[in-house]
């Protein structure tokens, strides 16, 4: 308004029939929680402006990560901070079915923590796999002579890839994750050294030499890169070892920069003054993590600042909250849930598209059509299970309590 306070939002409601509608919502408080900008590689994007050398690098962020919240904040006079601080994570999975896709699924530190080792295209280790993200990325980029000399990545250089290899004992330490990655085709189960070398397209003696050196280092308790913790070391008889291997590549993972905020999550203008009515939480804000955030701290940031902002904004109490499953035909609430109808396999299979997406989880059928585009891991994880039983895939990454916000539409009767 005229006094510089944010008093609502204006937007456009986009309809499938093309009859778009301009809408205006007034509110004494607006919270921006739109994420970062790592997925916008268009000319003039924030990535292009502040880190142009990273423009061709894939990202783990969803397609929504285009800096829209930063742009909205700037339009209200907000300041920004640390916009050039973009975290590169060393291990994003390369999907063999779609290797050039700019969107990658993260191969978290757990894969290396349980004993996964990184091998280059010569079949050699090149770093302490348990080092910081920045350290491992530096060792990866160091395979390029220009980077090794200048420590600056060239946007025209091909992004390197590496093999992440786990022994059977290492895989047991992250079984749920391994099963999930196997199901998605990102990890491959390989029996024996010869087959592993064939998968890597390398001579068996080269891979064997690296693994045997790793075994010797584990016995000594230290390698040339300073690694002193050796979990999941391959067994002595490499010919009978079962390996789990996948291809990984460095990926854009987090934007430390964003809108300037204070300790209460209020957005600040360029003079560090509070913009009344405007708040921010999560990756859309900047200055919280410094040059490079620690692993695990992004969700913590969302929780902390989301809680702070949520507590300080007065919310009108709702006196009549009820679940869809607790509605009577007349619209009133009841203590007894309505009985779910039975849904057969044939009926389930008919709802197998992005705009008509039913999935079975723990014997109950959920209509996830409206949630597909909101899924933090991307729509594909849901749409590929449309019209099917997705219990196994769900269990690999989620606890059952996450379904508390969703009402089933029926119970699955596989006939």
Question: Do 83 and 124 touch, CB atoms closer than 8 A?
Answer: no
Q: Which of 41, 51, 56, 112 is catalytic?
A: 112
Q: How far is it, in rounded angstroms, from Cα 285 to Cα 85?
A: 12
CA-based max dimension of the chain: 76
The β-bridge partners of 243 are 190
Question: Do 93 and 186 touch, CB atoms closer than 8 A?
Answer: yes
The tokens describing 71, both together, are 């742009």
Q: Is 56 a catalytic residue?
A: no
The tokens describing 91, both together, are 């291990």
Question: Do 326 and 337 touch, CB atoms closer than 8 A?
Answer: yes
Q: How far is it, in rounded angstroms, from Cα 174 to Cα 180?
A: 10
**3-state SS record for 271-306:** CCCEEEEEEECCCCEECCCCCCCCCCHHHHHHHHHH
Q: Which of 41, 89, 177, 253 is catalytic?
A: 89
Q: Is 89 a catalytic residue?
A: yes
Question: Do 297 and 303 touch, CB atoms closer than 8 A?
Answer: no
3-state secondary structure of 196: helix
Instruction: Write out the H or E segment, with its range, that includes residue 396.
Output: helix 391-397
Residue labelled with tokens 């006939």: 415
- 177-185 contacts: CB < 8 A, separation 24 or more? 177/108, 177/110, 177/111, 177/396, 177/397, 178/244, 179/392, 179/396, 180/393, 180/396, 180/397, 181/93, 181/107, 181/246, 182/244, 183/392, 183/393, 183/396, 184/95, 184/105, 185/95, 185/96, 185/97
Active site positions, annotated: 89, 112
């Amino acid at each position: 308004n005229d006094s510089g306070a944010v008093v609502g939002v204006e937007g456009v409601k986009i309809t499938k029939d093309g009859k778009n509608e301009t809408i205006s919502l007034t509110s004494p408080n607006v919270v921006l929680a739109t994420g970062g900008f790592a997925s916008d590689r268009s000319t003039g994007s924030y990535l292009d402006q502040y880190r142009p050398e990273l423009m061709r690098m894939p990202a783990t962020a969803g397609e929504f990560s285009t800096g829209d919240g930063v742009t909205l904040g700037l339009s209200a006079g907000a300041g920004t901070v640390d916009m050039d601080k973009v975290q590169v994570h060393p291990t994003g999975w390369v999907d063999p079915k779609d290797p050039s896709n700019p969107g990658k699924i993260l191969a978290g530190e757990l894969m290396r923590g349980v004993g996964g080792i990184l091998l280059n295209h010569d079949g050699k280790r090149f770093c302490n796999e348990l080092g910081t993200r920045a350290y491992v990325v530096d060792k990866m980029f160091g395979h390029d002579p220009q980077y090794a000399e200048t420590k600056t990545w060239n946007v025209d250089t091909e992004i390197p890839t590496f093999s992440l290899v786990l022994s059977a004992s290492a895989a047991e330490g992250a079984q749920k994750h391994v099963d999930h990655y196997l199901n998605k085709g990102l990890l491959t189960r390989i029996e024996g050294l010869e087959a592993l070398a064939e998968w890597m397209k390398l001579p068996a003696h080269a891979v064997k030499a690296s693994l045997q050196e790793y075994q010797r280092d584990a016995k000594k308790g230290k390698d040339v890169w300073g690694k002193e913790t050796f979990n999941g070391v391959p067994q002595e008889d490499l010919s009978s070892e079962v390996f789990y291997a996948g291809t990984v590549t460095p990926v854009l993972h987090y934007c430390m920069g964003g809108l300037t905020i204070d300790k209460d999550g209020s957005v600040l203008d360029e003079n560090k003054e509070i913009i009344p009515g405007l708040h921010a939480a999560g990756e859309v804000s900047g200055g919280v993590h410094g040059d490079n955030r620690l692993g695990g701290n992004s969700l913590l940031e969302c929780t902390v600042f989301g809680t702070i902002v949520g507590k300080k904004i007065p919310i009108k109490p709702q006196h009549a909250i009820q679940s869809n499953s607790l509605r009577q035909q007349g619209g009133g609430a009841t203590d007894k849930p309505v009985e779910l109808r039975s849904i057969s396999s044939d009926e389930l299979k008919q709802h197998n598209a992005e705009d008509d997406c039913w999935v079975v989880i723990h014997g109950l059928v959920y209509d996830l059509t409206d949630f597909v585009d909101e899924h933090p891991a991307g729509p594909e994880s849901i749409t590929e299970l449309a019209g099917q039983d997705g219990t196994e895939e769900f269990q690999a990454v989620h606890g059952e309590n996450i379904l508390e916000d969703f009402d089933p539409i029926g119970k699955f009767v596989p006939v």
